[in-house]
Structure 1
Amino acid sequence: MTEPLFGVRREPSILAPGAVHVPDWLSREQQEYLLQACVDWSAANAPRTIVLPGGGRMSVRTFSLGRHWSPYRYDDDNATPPIPDWLVRAARSALTSAAEIDPAAATRDSGTAGPGPTGHAPGPAEYTPDAALVNLYGRGATMGLHQDRDEASGDPVVSFSLGDACTFRFGTPEHRGRPYTDVRLESGDLVVFGGPSRMAFHGVPKVHDGSAPSWCREVLGAEPGRVNITLRRTT
């Protein structure tokens, strides 16, 4: 983990059963590496604005690694960069860290909502995501409450935050409304959700523009916005 932000240590927390927030999980060096990787990936796979089936347009721009995502399915028909082995290893390590805080984070969808087999997923050492979504939040971009329900496996979702901080809203599997928990995610933070929270509604109602560490600007030569990388196993 990195040094505590401004000398204030932010402790890991359980957002809901099976959902864990680990502040400062990525070191500065790891964040720099990931940001540069995102620049390289996006050069080969241009980020796109997602148009939903109903005609709405998402305010974030997105590109995929591994299996290609489009609303609301994955396919292998579009050329996307593969998920590098080092990112799979990072996801396994992240899942291990989350499971130390709440073992339910490393389990499959409980079966109370959404698709997917129930019970224990393979251990963190066997976790093998086959798709990663990279979401790029420019100024004013948000993401409404939604479920990650396009994956058949029910394995946990691993999420890394880079750049600008955001307000992350985490609800329940039942509906978009209350109760939900709001937590501020900073650059380098980790969120994992699995088990009873695998199908929980979640979203980003606000990005705190201009809040990224100054070194992010040095890496990119521009304001980074918020960059979110989520890994999941789809099959």
Structure 2
Amino acid sequence: MSKNRELRKEKERSISRPKGDILRPGMVLLKNYLSISEQASILEICRDHGLGPTGFYQPSFGEGGKMHLQLMCFGAFWNPELHQYGEVRPPVPRKFLKLVDRAVTDSWSLIAENSRVKDVKSILPSVQPDVCLVNYYAPRTGRLGLHQDKDESRESLDKGIPIVSFSIGDSADFLYSDQRDAEKADNVILESGDVLIFGGKSRHIFHGVPTIIPDTAPKLLLEETNFRPGRLNLTFRQRF
């Protein structure tokens, strides 16, 4: 069974080679990057962890308000109320880290093909994630306002060490901008299997998810996993 899944994964990738777009300096979108088999494996791992004592919950913020998503963490707990990392969590799965490394390497190749810069890491630095935040967005109510990811160490932020984001399930509108103004923000649709990376000069962008687009998850993924409607988003970060 495992061998057959690997063969199918390779066949999927050969039939539909991932396409890459440079959205702005240091920001790369790899379309259809994760195969159905890889997405299914990620879902299985997240499902097992999500049902445990440190699994999914609905976080609070501000004066008792609730975020419009479910959250769990690998590596360390992230507290959205205090905007800081806390208790240790199970380490980021090695399988996830390999996919992150592959995506960053392919992004460097894309940058090299589209620029004259000799050192691609000056545009998109390398990353060694030690935390993974997993957000689940319900198809009609899930959303996340414009914000910056800035709770990592000053050294990590100053170096522009990138955030790496995996999208699985239903598609979503993704806003990004240098300003916290949704009306002036650019918009891109993130689909199941897409990988978004932003670092370097784009590390401090404001970004958010205003809308989940219902009934857009790949049918093959749903058949293989019985994944509930909605979107799963994994964001990998390097704290130090």
* Interval of TM-score (by shorter of Structure 1 and Structure 2): 0.7 to 0.9
User: Which position in structure 2 is the counterpart of 1:187?
Assistant: 192
User: Which position in structure 2 is the counterpart of 1:15?
Assistant: 23
User: Which position in structure 2 is the counterpart of 1:56?
Assistant: 65
Report the residue type matching 2:143 in the other structure. Answer: T
Question: 1:195-234, aligned counterparts within 5 Å?
Answer: 195-234=200-239
Q: For residues 56 and 137 of structure 1, what CA distance do their matches in structure 2 show?
A: 17
Displacement of 1:222 in angstroms is 4.5
Per-residue CA deviation, residues 87-114 of structure 1 (Å, 9 max, x unaligned), is 112111111122222369x758xxxxxx
Q: For residues 179 and 98 of structure 1, what CA distance do their matches in structure 2 show?
A: 27
Which residue among 24, 27, 32 is the counterpart of 2:32?
Answer: 24
CA contact (8 A) 1:168 1:202 kept: yes
Displacement of 1:56 in angstroms is 2.4
Which residue among 159, 171, 175 is the counterpart of 2:177?
Answer: 171
1:120 to 1:167, Cα distance in 2 relative to 1, 3 A: closer
Q: Normalising to structure 1: TM-score of the pair?
A: 0.82
Q: Secondary structure at the match of 1:90?
A: helix
CA contact (8 A) 2:26 2:124 kept: no
- Unaligned stretches of 5+ residues in structure 2: 1-12
User: Which position in structure 2 is the counterpart of 1:143?
Assistant: 144
User: Which position in structure 2 is the counterpart of 1:82?
Assistant: 91
Displacement of 1:48 in angstroms is 1.0
Q: Secondary structure at the match of 1:59?
A: coil
Q: Normalising to structure 2: TM-score of the pair?
A: 0.81
CA contact (8 A) 1:137 1:225 kept: yes
| Greater Cα radius of gyration, structure 1 or 2 | 2
TM superposition outliers: structure 1 runs of 4+ over 6 Å:
none
Per-residue CA deviation, residues 183-228 of structure 1 (Å, 9 max, x unaligned), is 1111000100000110100111111111111123223335241000
Q: For residues 237 and 90 of structure 2, what CA distance do their matches in structure 1 show?
A: 15
User: Could you say which structure has the higher helix fraction?
Assistant: 2
1:81 to 1:218, Cα distance in 2 relative to 1, 3 A: farther
Q: For residues 189 and 178 of structure 1, what CA distance do their matches in structure 2 show?
A: 24
Q: For residues 23 and 143 of structure 1, what CA distance do their matches in structure 2 show?
A: 22
CA contact (8 A) 2:68 2:142 kept: yes
Cα-Cα RMSD:
2.4
Displacement of 1:177 in angstroms is 4.4
Identity %: 33
User: Which position in structure 1 is the counterpart of 2:84?
Assistant: 73
Q: For residues 212 and 206 of structure 1, what CA distance do their matches in structure 2 show?
A: 14
The worse-fitting range, judged by mean Cα deviation, of 129-138 and 55-64 is: 55-64
Q: For residues 173 and 124 of structure 2, what CA distance do their matches in structure 1 show?
A: 30
The worse-fitting range, judged by mean Cα deviation, of 53-62 and 147-156 is: 53-62
Q: For residues 226 and 60 of structure 2, what CA distance do their matches in structure 1 show?
A: 29
Displacement of 1:156 in angstroms is 0.4
Q: For residues 180 and 171 of structure 2, what CA distance do their matches in structure 1 show?
A: 26
What count of residue pairs does the alignment treat as equivalent?
Answer: 214
Per-residue CA deviation, residues 107-164 of structure 1 (Å, 9 max, x unaligned), is 58xxxxxxxxxx974x4xxx32110000001132111111001111121000000000
